Amino acid sequence: VNAQIRALVDAAVAGDFSRRGDEAAFDHVYREMVAALNRLMATADRGLGALDEVLAAVAAGDLTRSADATLPGRFGRLAASANLTVERLAAIVEAIRAGSDAINSAAGEI
């Protein structure tokens, strides 16, 4: 069990939350410990994955994506902040487009 816990902790420290321990290999409290670590890894993986998808979309110029703000705890707050950031960026881009259209229209009239 120590080896599995160490492997999961090492993976998490390295930023790899996709790893899971083999909880079926243990009984009683040891199974519960590995199962709890698996839940922790899965929650972190899901939360960070949702944020990664939104930020990758923004980096590619897609301001239509949003993260699941119903994620638990800090992940939900991060998702909500990412969503608000994307919404504000989209509003800024729209204001720039509107200003550009107005300038082009005025230039055409001149």
**pLDDT (tens digit per residue) in 44-86:** 999 999 999 999 999 999 999 999 888 889 999 999 999 999 9
Query: How distant, in Å, are the alpha carbons of 14, 37, 45 from that of 11?
Result: 5, 12, 11
pLDDT over 90 (residue 15)? yes
Sequence-ordered alpha helix ranges (H) in the chain: 2-13, 28-59, 73-109
Distance, in Å, from the CA atom of 71 to the CA atom of 78, rounded to the nearest integer, reads: 9
Instruction: State percent of the chain over pLDDT 90.
Output: 77
Helix (H, G, I), strand (E, B) or coil at 23: helix
Note the pTM of the prediction, 2 decimals. 0.74
pLDDT over 80 (residue 35)? yes
